[in-house]
Amino acid sequence: MTYYVYVLKSELNGILYIGFTSDLERRLKEHNSGKTKSLKPYLPYKIVYTEQFDTREKAVNREKYLKSGIGREFIKNTLKKYIELFNPLDKFRIPAGRQASGLNPFMSIPK
């Protein structure tokens, strides 16, 4: 089975959310339907970044890393470079002390 770590971006205010799943389409629909209480106020979301893994354990470990301070910096820097190249008008933010997430098919990194 394939697992994905993803980063979602709120289209409302640019907040990022990090998670993992084995079904990206389903998970995005769940987030955008308001089933995730903590994300509901910031709907809708789009995927701005993904990484693919062959085991659940690897995906969970990567998700934990990306939710750490240095991991959030990695996401912020990676997305900043992408936005500067392809969409300079786009904005995002990672609130201090909050977990972030999102997805972008152009930013996928197979593992």
Domains in the chain, please, with CATH? Answer: 3-110 (3.40.1440)
Q: Is the peptide bond before 105 cis (omega within 30 degrees of 0)?
A: no
Task: Judge contact between 4 and 22, C-beta under 8 A.
Answer: yes
Angstrom distance (rounded) from CA 20 to CA 4: 5
pLDDT digits (tens, 9 = 90+) for 37-70: 888 899 999 998 999 999 999 999 999 999 999 9
Q: What are the phi and psi torsion angles at 23 (to 5°)? A: -140, 95
Beta-sheet strand order (sheet of 16-21): 16-21, 3-10, 45-53, 104-110
Q: Record the pTM.
A: 0.75
